[in-house]
Structure 1
Amino acid sequence: MIKLFSVRDKQKKEEDAATAAGGKGIRLSAGELRMQKDMAELSLPSNISITFPDGAEKLMHFEIMIRPDEGIYRGGMFVFDFNIGAGYPHDPPKVLCKTKVYHPNIDLEGKICLNILREDWKPILTISSVIYGLQFLFLDPNPDDPLNKEAAVAFQDNPRRFEADVQRAIMHGHVINGQTFPSCRAR
């Protein structure tokens, strides 16, 4: 049996949350409410920044810029596009790397091989979890689970040459295996 009063109380709380969010009677989806919470709790280090191309009130689409300050990719600047669907947090965010990068876990189309964006996603994970996962890919690439198989083989076979190729691509732009990688040097 449905308890009518508990349903009404829940609806009232949702309306209050929507009104507190700035909308007069506009109901926010569960994903939008969760995004508000995730963004309120987001604390980014100085080498990561966030922008909202559609305006700060549009939380379901944003870009993250990661500027690694250590590891193979230090000195680079990498932009990731986040699109949060209506099913969030039950569905993972859709994330695409907008910067063409020579990386074992990022293919030439910008798709990312990060387990928490696929099979290991759980609703308890947050946007912060994804951002730190992306940052970790630049600190410790995983050639055992590659999207760019050529980069993974190069990383495993000759790590010093791989690092030199990555640094040349970041600083000046570089052609690797017939693919041109434009400079993505951090400003």
Structure 2
Amino acid sequence: MQLFSSLKMINLFKIKDQKKEESASAAGKAPVKKQSAGELRLNKDISELNLPKNTSISFPNGKDDLMSFEIVIRPDEGYYMSGSFGFTFQVSPSYPHEPPKVKCKTKVYHPNIDLEGNVCLNILREDWKPVLNINTVIYGLNLLFTQPNDEDPLNHEAAAVLRDNPKMFEANVRRAMAGGYVGQHYFPRCA
């Protein structure tokens, strides 16, 4: 009997929601799409963004699709100063319980970003916690450009050069950012 009354109650809620959509449609309004908890949280995170002055954000699919956006970082210090590096963010509906998927669109000579654009940032993997947010990730990405980490690399060759010969690493970064070859790999201009 308890199950039957619960099912009846659920059906009543469905009918009520359907009536709301029908009346909105009849009034010439677009039906209201329910947002997932992840969309609600992301909406809050985006509205509270405090971007560093060297970072910009854009929504290529329009403001109605916050789950997919891009940022551009233009470091103002360090090895990567005066470069321009684009990243895509894909946020799942289960955000903030899982981190956003972040890819670097700019081919870059960097110990923590591989040639396919995968990013090695601990808060995007094992150190992610739901209390973290998009702002934290953006600051983490900025930190990768001011303090590249040779201890947890994706690009092992770049990490070895940074560790063993920082002057050569700096020359390689400059060559790559100007548009040129580092070893067998060509890097399009990003400076």
Q: List, as ranges, runs of 4+ consecutive aligned residues in structure 1 with deviation greater than 6 Å.
A: none
Which structure has the bigger radius of gyration?
2
Determine if the alignment matches structure 1 residue 58 to structure 2 residue 70: no
Show structure 2 runs of 5+ residues with no match: 1-5, 7-12, 18-28
Q: 1:23 Cα shift?
A: 7.6
Q: 1:75 Cα shift?
A: 0.7
Which of 158, 162, 165 is the aligned partner of 1:158?
A: 165
Determine if the alignment matches structure 1 residue 39 to structure 2 residue 38: no
Report the equivalent of 1:168: 175
State the distance in 1 between where 2:110 and 2:33 align: 43
Q: Summarize deviations over 1:56-111 as a string: whole Å, max 9, x none.
A: 22100000000000000001000000000111000100000000000000000000
TM-score (norm 2): 0.83
Using a 3 Å threshold, how does the CA distance of structure 1 residues 132 and 174 change in structure 2: closer, same or farther?
A: same
Three-state SS of the structure 1 residue aligned to 2:88 is strand
Q: 1:26 Cα shift?
A: 2.4
State the distance in 2 between where 1:184 and 1:153 align: 23
Show structure 1 runs of 5+ residues with no match: 5-10, 16-21
State the distance in 1 between where 2:69 and 2:157 align: 30
User: What fraction of aligned residue pairs are identical, expressed as a percent?
Assistant: 58
Matches within 5 A, 1:59-74: 59-74=66-81
Alpha-carbon RMSD across the aligned residues, in angstroms, is 1.8
Report the equivalent of 1:183: 189
Paired residues, what number?
Answer: 166
Report the equivalent of 1:90: 97
Contact 1:48–1:67 under 8 Å retained in 2: yes
